[in-house]
Amino acid sequence: MPKKRLFLFTLMFLMLLASGCFVPQYLYPQPDISAITTGDEEAAVQILIASRKSAFKQAVIDQIVIHFADQSMSFRLIGLDQLNTQNTESYQAIVLINTCIAWNVDPAVRKFLKSHKDQNRIIVLTTAGDPDWEAQSDHENVHTISSASVLANASGIAADIIAQMNILLQD
Closest by alpha carbon to 11, among 114, 39, 19? 19
String of b and e for 76-114 (b: at least 16 CB within 10 Å)?
bbbbbeebeebebeebebbbbbbbbbeebbbebbeebbe
Give the per-residue pLDDT at 135: 60
Closest by alpha carbon to 78, among 97, 65, 59? 97
Mean per-residue pLDDT for 115-120?
79
pLDDT band at 21 (very low <50, low <70, confident <90, very high): very low
Of all residues in the chain, the percent with pLDDT exceeding 90 is: 48
Least confident of 26-30, 94-98, 112-116, 129-133: 26-30
Residue 19 has pLDDT above 60, yes or no: no
- The answer to whether residues 115 and 87 touch, using CB atoms and an 8 Å cutoff, is no
CA distances from 139 to 12, 22, 110, 113, 124 (A): 34, 21, 10, 8, 11
Give the per-residue pLDDT at 115: 87
Give the per-residue pLDDT at 91: 94
CATH number given to 31-170? 3.40.50.300
Domain residue limits, the chain: 1-29, 31-170
For residue range 122-160, list pLDDT tens digits in order. Answer: 999 988 876 666 666 565 667 778 788 889 999 999 999
Give the per-residue pLDDT at 20: 47
Give the per-residue pLDDT at 147: 84
Give the per-residue pLDDT at 6: 73
- The answer to whether residues 74 and 47 touch, using CB atoms and an 8 Å cutoff, is yes
